[in-house]
Amino acid sequence: MNAVTSSIGEEPVAERDSEIAGRRLLILGGGLWQRDYVRRARALGLETWVTDWHADAVARDDADHFFPIDLKDAAATLELARSARVDGVMTPADIGVTTVAYVASALGLPGPTPELARRSTNKLDMRRRAADVGLAVPWFEPVRSVEAAFEMMTRHPGPITAPVIVKPVDNCSSRGVCVVHDRAALESAVDAALTSSGEGTALVEQFLQGVEGSLEAFVQAGEITILGVCDKTKSPLPDRYDLELRYPGAYSPAASRNLAAFIEHVVRGFEIADALLHVEFLIPYGTDEVFLTEFALRGCGSKVITHLLPQLTGIDVVRATIRQALGLKTPLTATRQLHGALHFLMFPSGRVAAVHGLEQARAVPGVIDVCVERVPGERIDPVHDGRSRPGHLLVHGRSRSDVQATIAAVRSAVRVEYDDHREAVPAILPAAI
């Protein structure tokens, strides 16, 4: 096999995989965050069949075959999978997980069971299962109307004087999520969560305060490989999206031991045999106890799995994930242990006239990727969830301080020019919390 230099690291990555070359893989999702999976699958020698709800999805020209099918349309996806005689099906997108499980179950292909898929995408089912198996979870209750939320708060007087967090049971990227500090704000928060929920159900939960983080793990035949653990800076309240993820996370020895036991508990409790897992958690201030926030049967987005963690560890996670969709195990051994971060670039609102400094920023040592996702003529609007952040930066270094120095250098280089002649560098993020 010929080796080429990977865009995500300095070590050569063997591209064509003779063990899977010539097989057919169906990938649900052809957007920006799924494009690397499509490209890698073809480079490994697979024939790719890709679906997306957008007919002009960015990965359509990277696929061997593209079909504009909504990822939630399980029947149409199964019909395509049958006609294409695919050997595997996968998705890097939350919204496609239940469809993958449906197709895999119907065709006898590798993949999650429908029950696991639902528990990983429906926060109410996830909370109930987690509580049943003894995982620490916040207090929660489902509601299907604003009136039910007010009635619930009357029955449970405790949350009225303490913050609660309201979220749809079946959405992602912090859409429809809001922290509520008083009864007056509850109505709009529940209404937003219900609007963002396909099932028309919201969760009202205890708002725990502490250090938030996420853990990436790869499970093969029940064997767990932890790929990375981060701590986070979150957005100012009442929203709750991520602003920065730092690897490895700064946790006490006791908390680190608890995190290792925690991921084992999640895998065993939810009966996960094979999966790439993204698990979000919270450790309340003054404790080392780990609470489950949620988990997903896919890796962290924003190029963490495709770019950042391979650079930090030397593990080709995308290849392992593709092979797993075809029923194959992949040896996973870290060849390096670097520090790194995903840092989101936040700018004031306005219509973009030009973006300056990206080439200078990309030349800074330690930069993996830097991007402003708005082109001239497009608007930067106020951000309230993870899907609307205007830019991101991925960096690596030998230490946490090296990483932060690289972030500072990029932030000083990049600026946005607006059509009203203003210019702005990335906004200063709140203190790490």
β-pair type (275-284, 210-220): antiparallel
Residue 343's DSSP bridge partners are 244, 393
pLDDT beyond 70 at 13? no
What percentage of the chain reaches a pLDDT higher than 70? 94
Residue 162, pLDDT score: 60
Mean pLDDT, rounded, for 82-106: 97
What percentage of the chain reaches a pLDDT higher than 90? 77
Residue 150 gets the label, from left (phi > 0), alpha (psi -120 to 50) or beta, of alpha
Mean pLDDT, rounded, for 393-420: 97
pLDDT beyond 70 at 207? yes
Q: Domains in the chain, start-ordered, CATH in brackets?
A: 3-112 (3.40.50.20), 119-124+209-296 (3.30.470.20), 139-206 (3.30.1490.20), 339-424 (3.30.470.20)
Residue 180, pLDDT score: 85
Mean of per-residue pLDDT scores for the chain: 91
pLDDT confidence of 9, banded at 50, 70, 90? very low
Cα 135 to Cα 40, 95, 139, 221, 262: the distances in Å are 36, 25, 12, 22, 8
pLDDT in tens, 324-353: 999 999 999 999 999 999 999 999 999 999
pLDDT confidence of 85, banded at 50, 70, 90? very high
Q: How many other CB atoms are found less than 10 A from the CB of residue 147?
A: 11
Whether 82 contacts 89, CB under 8 Å: no
Print the SS3 string covering the chain: CCEEECCCCCCEEECCCCCCCCCEEEEECCCCCCHHHHHHHHHCCCEEEEECCCCCCCCHHHCCEEECCCCCCHHHHHHHHHHHCCCEEECCCHHHHHHHHHHHHHHCCCCCCHHHHHHHHCHHHHHHHHHHCCCCCCCEEEECCHHHHHHHHHHCCHHHHCCEEEEECCCCCCCCCEEECCHHHHHHHHHHHHHCCCCCCEEEEECCCEEEEEEEEEEECCEEEEEEEEEEEECCCCCCCEEEEEECCCCCHHHHHHHHHHHHHHHHHCCCCCEEEEEEEEEECCCCCCEEEEEECCCCCCCHHHHHHHHHHCCCHHHHHHHHHCCCCCCCCCCCCCEEEEEEECCCCEEEEEEECHHHHHCCCCEEEEEECCCCCCEECCCCCHHHCCEEEEEEECCHHHHHHHHHHHHHHCEEEECCCCEECCCCCCCCC
pTM of the model: 0.90
pLDDT confidence of 156, banded at 50, 70, 90? low
Higher per-residue confidence, 66 vs 429: 66
Higher per-residue confidence, 5 vs 224: 224
Mean pLDDT, rounded, for 375-394: 93
Mean pLDDT, rounded, for 38-55: 97
Mean pLDDT, rounded, for 369-374: 94
Residue 424, pLDDT score: 94
Mean pLDDT, rounded, for 171-197: 81
CA-closest candidate to residue 70, choices 53, 92, 90, 56? 53
pLDDT confidence of 152, banded at 50, 70, 90? confident
pLDDT beyond 90 at 158? no
User: Tell me, what amino acid is at 360?
Assistant: Q
Whether 425 contacts 415, CB under 8 Å: yes
pLDDT beyond 60 at 6? no
Mean pLDDT, rounded, for 132-150: 90
pLDDT confidence of 432, banded at 50, 70, 90? very low
Higher per-residue confidence, 281 vs 151: 281
Mean pLDDT, rounded, for 187-204: 87
Mean pLDDT, rounded, for 98-114: 98
